[in-house]
Amino acid sequence: MQPDMASPRAILDLLNGSAPLGVVAVGMTLVILSGGVDLSVGSVLALSCILTAWLIAHGGWPPMAAYAVAMGAGTVLGAACGWVIHAFRLAPFIVTLAGMFAARGLALSVSLDSFGIDHPAHQRFVDFAVRLADGKLHLNAMVLLAVLGAGAFVAQCTAFGRHVYAVGGQESSATLMGLPVGRTKVGVYALSGGCAALAGVLRTFEMSSGDPTAGVGLELDAIAAVVIGGTLLTGGVGGVMGTLIGVLILGTIQTWILFDGRLSSWWARVATGVLLLAFVLVQRTLAGKKAARC
């Protein structure tokens, strides 16, 4: 229907444009695998984005130091949410919802308006790209691929990853087995916050500016990408590489609507909602059949 969408340039643009969502979705995958959910990621992205811009443009900080502070702030916020969830036995939905409001408020307290970043070192990151075929693979996409590889390694090849699956499969059994449930929960939310903060830095590469209103609704897109990629909302089943497929599906829908030109961009939201509902129903059906066989 849209042959240009299959061109190498369109595929590379899809990877470049999907980078912030993909990085956030990797952290969200680990959280959902553990049986939780993180609604604060969009606000943490905004906080990281505006904090990075403010430190570079107004604070005079070197870009690398600003990136490190922004990512550290996101990681600490995520770890705090994980600790509260475990220590006080609260629902992740409630705690991360509070984290969402807190992070957004902090972002707006840094600045109510967006502003540009004109530091030459930051601009070099913005411009860095590798030419492939008739397109370019930008730094954002390279970071996405690196984070995907690291996330898959952590989930599949480390003791921490096995603990994540065990906690998500049955937390009470994991506790009886003597697994570090609390440390695992704090770890997955810290990683989720760190990934969201990294995505905020990547957003400054996209826009060459900071925006305290960035990332509105991103948490829902990330959850949709994880579920469409095959991870169960109840935890314990799924993987990071499936999340990549979910991210690319969402990006393809948005790209197709853009190429078509006849539909409003809001139809991408409609399609995402329909896909999410369909995959949740499929998961429920398969889980019911498995329970019946047992």
Going along the chain from its start, the domains and CATH numbers come out as: 3-293 (1.10.3470)
Distance CA 212, CA 209 (A): 10
Handedness of CA 95, 99, 102, 108 (dihedral sign): negative
Those residues of the chain that have pLDDT short of 50 are none
Distance of CA 24 to the CA centre of its chain: 1
Distance CA 56, CA 68 (A): 12
pTM to 2 decimals?
0.93
Distance CA 253, CA 249 (A): 6
- The DSSP bridge partners found for residue 116 are 209
State the pLDDT at residue 134: 77
Distance CA 12, CA 17 (A): 9
State the pLDDT at residue 261: 65
State the pLDDT at residue 206: 92
Distance CA 28, CA 218 (A): 11
E strands, the chain, are: 115-116, 129-132, 135-138, 209-210
Distance CA 12, CA 205 (A): 16
Distance CA 141, CA 158 (A): 25
Residues 226, 246 contacting (CB under 8 angstroms): yes
Residues 147, 22 contacting (CB under 8 angstroms): yes
State the pLDDT at residue 267: 75
State the pLDDT at residue 253: 84
State the pLDDT at residue 41: 97
